């Protein structure tokens, strides 16, 4: 797979990378070009090989085959310290006996930098990360978030071209995590360095990345900007991995009504004329993926089966005319989430979820009509699992 950006602006290039432990191949023929100043997130479930890829770029692992280029230099056989990278790990790895200042200065002293230059760099990093008041404390006297700031500071003072982050926020509690996430985004906006960031947290990926590489089994499944990954997932795996609450997958087949291709499942019909992609031939087995915010539940008008009144709003109402009685569903569970609610429904014999306003007025057992915003849905080939 060759995922090219403009080669002139390439900051990090991974070429035909192979990494194996004996007969166990973790990464095979993986190529990835990362642009100058780009924020790339490597995202995937545990064991997908994202940390392995990062460690290959960092030079912490000897690769089996292929090349790593940084800033137009082949660094494949260079030591980590000579690659022009700064790394931030999940465990802060600070020296406990040294103050924050000592931790920040350590690598620079070893590199033989003059005192004045070291002080200048520490002052700048401390200002950017707002850790000036902490400089004379030892790590034990810092909170988790403060320690991680210092760990970032240690990469920052090295004045490197490329920052590598390996799950830097996963040891922090939820509130701190979201605070530091914003800090990291601010840092990137300010510095414009290339950043490569490993996480299994889709929110971090969606909020931070210019482009996300979604990985599974050592293979990049999709490399694209967050919007594209969210709205046009390349396959079922990406579709299911991104999005919370998750996308619903409905099994069915392609039909036709009044000259319009439809999705048919369990006696229900959804028009596909608004679908932004290729609708296959009639009779083809497909999976329809719809996100909860693109399904609107409406009250069933007396005497009508499913008119798609879409009382729930969210822009889904009125789309994808469903035909009389075609998209009737039943509420099974209501999950209030504060700002809105998640309705778990039974539709065409299958489970389906829909976002609804907090004050939706439905209760378990109610019959509802559904409106689908098919322009935002995805059709997948049942066999290949690729998006159509
Ligand atoms: N030294 C090793 N010997 C053999 N297999 C290894 C070794 N190190 C890692 N692996 C395997 O390589 C695969 C990828 O590991 P890696 O740490 O890159 O995954 P990851 O996506 O970063 O997961 P996590 O989020 O759990 O760290 C895993 O299946 C792991 O078991």
What confidence tens digit (pLDDT) does each residue in 355-381 have? 999 988 899 999 999 999 999 999 999
Lowest mean pLDDT of 37-46, 184-193, 194-203, name the range.
184-193
ω before 245 within 30° of 0 (cis)? yes
CA max distance for the chain: 84
**Average pLDDT, integer, range 129-142:** 91
- CATH 3.40.50.300 domain residues, the chain: 7-241
Identity of the highest mean pLDDT range in 167-181, 299-313, 338-352: 338-352
CA of 351 to the centre of ligand 1 (A): 34
At the topology level, CATH places domain 7-241 in Rossmann fold (3.40.50)
- Judged by DSSP in three states, 55 sits in helix
Say if residues 370 and 322 touch (Cβ distance below 8 Å). yes
Reference 90, options 157, 144, 161, 156; nearest CA is 144
- CATH 2.40.50.140 domain residues, the chain: 248-381
Q: What number is the ipTM of this complex?
A: 0.95
Q: Distance between CA 38 and CA 196 in Å, rounded?
A: 8
pLDDT higher than 70, residue 58: yes
pLDDT higher than 50, residue 305: no
Residue of 42, 52, 54, 201 with the most ligand 1 atoms within 8 Å of its CB, for mutation:
52
> Cα dihedral angle (379, 330, 319, 301), rounded to 10 degrees?
160
Residue 8's pLDDT band (boundaries 50, 70, 90)? low
Q: CA 9 → CA 5, 36, 141, distances in Å?
A: 8, 5, 42
Which atom in ligand 1 lies closest to the alpha carbon of residue 51? 22
What confidence tens digit (pLDDT) does each residue in 26-46 have? 999 999 999 999 999 999 999
- State the pLDDT at residue 2: 46
Distance from the first to the final alpha carbon of the chain: 20
In CATH, the number for domain 248-381 is 2.40.50.140
pLDDT higher than 50, residue 316: no
- State the pLDDT at residue 309: 40
- State the pLDDT at residue 128: 85
Q: Distance between CA 280 and CA 253 in Å, rounded?
A: 10
Average pLDDT across the chain, whole number: 89
Is 44 touching ligand 1 by the criterion CB < 6 Å? Answer: yes
Is 24 touching ligand 1 by the criterion CB < 6 Å? Answer: yes
pLDDT higher than 50, residue 242: yes
Q: Where are the beta strands (DSSP E) in the chain?
A: 10-21, 24-35, 39-43, 65-70, 73-74, 85-88, 162-166, 194-199, 211-216, 219-224, 248-257, 260-265, 268-271, 285-290, 295-299, 328-336, 340-347, 350-357, 367-372, 378-381
pLDDT higher than 70, residue 113: yes
Residue 246's pLDDT band (boundaries 50, 70, 90)? very high
Minimum CA distance residue for ligand 1 atom 13: 47
Residue 302's pLDDT band (boundaries 50, 70, 90)? low
Which is higher by pLDDT, 171 or 269? 269
pLDDT higher than 80, residue 7: no
CA of 160 to the centre of ligand 1 (A): 27
Is 46 touching ligand 1 by the criterion CB < 6 Å? Answer: yes
Lowest mean pLDDT of 28-32, 143-147, 350-354, name the range.
143-147
- Return the half-sphere exposure (C-beta side, CA atoms, 13 A cut-off) of residue 33: 12
Q: CA 258 → CA 255, 261, 262, 271, 272, distances in Å?
A: 10, 8, 10, 10, 12
pLDDT higher than 70, residue 296: yes
Strands 65-70 and 73-74 turn out to be: antiparallel
């Amino acid at each position: 797979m060759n995922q090219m950006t403009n080669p002139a602006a390439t900051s990090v290039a991974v070429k035909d990378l192979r990494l194996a432990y004996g007969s166990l191949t973790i990464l095979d023929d993986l190529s990835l070009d990362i642009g100058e100043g780009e924020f790339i997130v490597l995202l995937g479930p545990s064991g997908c090989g994202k940390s392995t890829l990062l460690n290959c770029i960092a030079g912490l692992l000897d690769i089996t085959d292929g090349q790593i280029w940084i800033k137009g230099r082949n660094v494949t056989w260079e030591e980590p310290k000579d690659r022009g990278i700064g790394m931030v790990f999940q465990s802060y790895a600070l020296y406990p006996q040294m103050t924050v200042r000592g931790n920040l200065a350590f690598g620079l002293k070893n590199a033989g930098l003059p005192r004045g230059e070291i002080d200048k760099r520490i002052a700048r990093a401390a200002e950017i990360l707002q850790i000036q008041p902490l400089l004379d404390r030892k790590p034990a006297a810092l909170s988790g978030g403060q320690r991680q700031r210092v760990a970032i500071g240690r990469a920052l003072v090295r004045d490197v071209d490329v920052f590598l982050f390996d799950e830097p926020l996963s040891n922090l509690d939820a509130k701190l995590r979201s605070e530091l996430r914003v800090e990291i985004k601010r840092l990137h906006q300010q510095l414009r360095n290339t950043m490569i960031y490993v996480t299994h947290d889709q929110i971090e990926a969606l909020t931070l990345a210019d482009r996300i590489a979604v990985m599974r089994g050592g293979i990049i499944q999709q490399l694209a900007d967050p919007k594209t990954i969210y709205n046009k997932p390349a396959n079922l795996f990406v579709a299911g991995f991104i999005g919370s609450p998750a996308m619903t997958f409905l099994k069915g087949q392609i039909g036709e009504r009044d000259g319009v291709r439809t999705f048919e499942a369990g006696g229900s019909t959804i028009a596909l004329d608004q679908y932004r992609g290729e609708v296959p031939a009639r009779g083809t087995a497909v999976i329809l993926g719809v996100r909860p915010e693109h399904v609107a539940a409406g009250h069933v008008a007396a005497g009508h089966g499913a008119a798609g009144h879409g009382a729930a709003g969210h822009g889904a109402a009125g789309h994808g005319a469903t035909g009389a009685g075609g998209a009737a569903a039943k509420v099974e569970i209501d999950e209030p989430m504060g700002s809105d609610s998640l309705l778990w429904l039974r539709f065409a014999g299958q489970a389906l979820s829909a976002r609804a306003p907090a004050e939706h007025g439905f209760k378990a057992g109610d019959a509802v009509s559904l409106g689908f915003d098919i322009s935002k849905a995805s059709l997948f080939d049942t066999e290949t699992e690729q998006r159509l």
